[in-house]
Chain A
């Protein structure tokens, strides 16, 4: 971020052994992460395994996990959560790449557009969800427009766009929120390398599709993939939007975790924590899997 201000580019990392200065620099962050993040997950795991000495439960048991995993609703909830996360990530990624390409191609460099593109980054998901509710609900603004155009006579005739089967409203919120995030990540790579490489591609007689497939895509792939993973992980584990715009049944996993955890029956609490941990595991597993697959694919491309 300050690279532009540094004369000369070859900035090297210095190899050092473990020295006290380095420890001083890293220790606070590592301590916070180990204690709060690692500790949170570990204590969560203990509680989910039934270790609640205060509540008279001290023995370790996998009951809470199995109860969740064997619940007939679990596969549906898992499927729904995957649907929300994957679909919104894929749609946002495709639109973002298209948008980034269009912006570079037409050299849209107006400050206003770049500023406007950053606005959604500052808007909390919760606010977007509220607004979508006002827009898409059966008596929402769009339904009113439809009524004004004579398409429907009563709110009941308006197609269900929130609390609906396909989670349309949820997807819309996420797509609106995440497109700028992915677009800006892709755009920064394109602006650094894209133009010249495309010219090289032209001199090598690559067609439009070939230039996209064999030049642009490989160039943006790393940051696109990173952005998508972050978006996927976030949408998989976020609670507010599916809570406000989702159906009461089936619930997405984060909503289920919340309901169990907040249940008046304190015995349901370990179950809520177990679901929270399952979410964390699924996300970490997905990210690890995609990193591994990516490495495999790259190995193949370089012939190893």
Chain B
């Protein structure tokens, strides 16, 4: 087998993955760029200034809002989802199939169907247009993934480790903190990343429940696309990609080959 194949394949992958970033970078750095110019007629940092400036305080607060929302959703997902994953992965019990279907059905049902149904109820409960309300609706998307990942983790987990620690003198809390947590930690990182990314890229459910009050980055980006300011839209797009990309970069070493397999 020729040694060129793998090189060509690798180059092909890098190029196809990189291609969509090219117009974003170019547009974000252009001041004027008319057809049929292959390069902007005038380069400039106006878009980036707008994004970073006080004038674009909106972008900064959108970034903050999105980050907070995704982090809180991921944290709540883990707190609720890890125990459920443990129950499904470690034990066989009556009604397990039913519980499994209930917890994983949302994997295939689009969030817009759920968000529309919840909207009126959330208005009554005063949850509409609030941060908490949006966290709750994102939870219907993120929690199933967390449960699913942790189910897989605990299906490959040996609970005898815990018993071993107990009879070596560790209390239940010491076991949970000092044995179980380190053993399933890689799974928890993956599940947390899943939830973070899913919440991060939610648009419609945020719009319906947040009602334009919870201004996340995707909501801003959509508005910008409507306004037609391409350089700023491109810059915001890049800002929108950056944190997740950073997380991937940081975790890549740590997660190894499997990486983010399964993230959508």
Chain A residues within CB distance 8 Å of chain B: 1-3, 5-6, 8, 11, 13-18, 22, 24-26, 28-30, 32-34, 36-45, 47, 52, 54, 99, 102-103, 105-108, 110-128, 130-135, 139-141, 143-145, 147-148, 154-155, 176, 180-181, 184-185, 187-188, 191, 229-230, 233-234, 236-240, 244, 254, 257-258, 261, 272-273, 276-277, 279-280, 283-284, 287
Distance between Cα atoms of A123 and B70 in the complex (Å): 15
Distance between Cα atoms of A283 and B147 in the complex (Å): 21
Q: Is there contact, CB below 8 Å, between B80 and A28?
A: yes
Identify which of residues 185-231 in chain B touch chain A, using a CB-to-CB cut-off of 8 Å.
186-187, 190, 197, 200-201, 203-204, 208, 218, 221-222, 225, 230
B176 CB → nearest A CB, Å: 12
Question: A36-B139, A279-B113 are known contacts. Are A126 and B203 too (CB-CB below 8 A)?
Answer: yes
The number of inter-chain residue pairs (CB within 8 angstroms) is 320
In the complex, B263 has a CB within 8 A of chain A? yes
Interface centre among B183, B184, B204 (most CB of A within 10 A): B204
Q: Is there contact, CB below 8 Å, between B113 and A276?
A: yes
Chain A residues with CB under 8 Å of B115's CB are 40
Q: Is there contact, CB below 8 Å, between B6 and A233?
A: no
Q: Is there contact, CB below 8 Å, between B105 and A122?
A: no
Q: Is there contact, CB below 8 Å, between A237 and B84?
A: no
**Chain B residue nearest in CB terms to A274:** B116
Q: Is there contact, CB below 8 Å, between B259 and A184?
A: yes
Identify which of residues 104-130 in chain B touch chain A, using a CB-to-CB cut-off of 8 Å.
105-118, 120-121
Given A2-B187, A130-B221, 8 more A-B residue pairs with CB atoms under 8 Å apart are: A13-B89, A25-B83, A29-B80, A30-B99, A114-B259, A118-B248, A176-B16, A257-B112
Distance between Cα atoms of A122 and B200 in the complex (Å): 10
Distance between Cα atoms of A121 and B221 in the complex (Å): 19
Question: A134-B230, A140-B23 are known contacts. Are A114 and B257 too (CB-CB below 8 A)?
Answer: yes
In the complex, B244 has a CB within 8 A of chain A? yes
Question: A17-B94, A47-B120, A144-B35 are known contacts. Are A108 and B9 too (CB-CB below 8 A)?
Answer: yes
B252 interface neighbour in A28, A105, A118, A131, Cβ under 8 Å: A118
The 8 A-B residue pairs with the shortest CB-CB distance, nearest first, are A237-B110, A44-B117, A124-B201, A29-B84, A134-B23, A147-B36, A233-B108, A3-B156
B27 CB → nearest A CB, Å: 6
Distance between Cα atoms of A141 and B38 in the complex (Å): 7
Q: Is there contact, CB below 8 Å, between B92 and A15?
A: yes
Interface range for B: 35 or more
Interface secondary structure of A, over-half rule: helix
A13 interface neighbour in B9, B18, B37, B91, Cβ under 8 Å: B91
In the complex, B56 has a CB within 8 A of chain A? no
**Chain B residue nearest in CB terms to A145:** B38
Q: Is there contact, CB below 8 Å, between A17 and B103?
A: no
Q: Is there contact, CB below 8 Å, between B36 and A118?
A: no
Chain B residues with CB under 8 Å of A105's CB are 1
B110 interface neighbour in A8, A107, A261, A280, Cβ under 8 Å: A280
Give a binary string over B227-264; 1 marks a CB under 8 Å from any A CB, 0 the rest: 00010011001001100110110001000011111111
Show 25 residue pairs from A and B whose CB-CB distance is below 8 angstroms, ordered by the A residue: A2-B153, A6-B156, A13-B91, A13-B92, A14-B159, A25-B87, A33-B103, A36-B114, A37-B106, A41-B117, A121-B263, A122-B197, A122-B260, A123-B20, A126-B201, A128-B20, A131-B20, A131-B21, A140-B23, A141-B22, A176-B16, A184-B259, A238-B110, A276-B113, A280-B113
Interface centre among A36, A40, A115, A139 (most CB of B within 10 A): A40
Chain B residues with CB under 8 Å of A2's CB are 153, 156-157, 183-184, 186-187
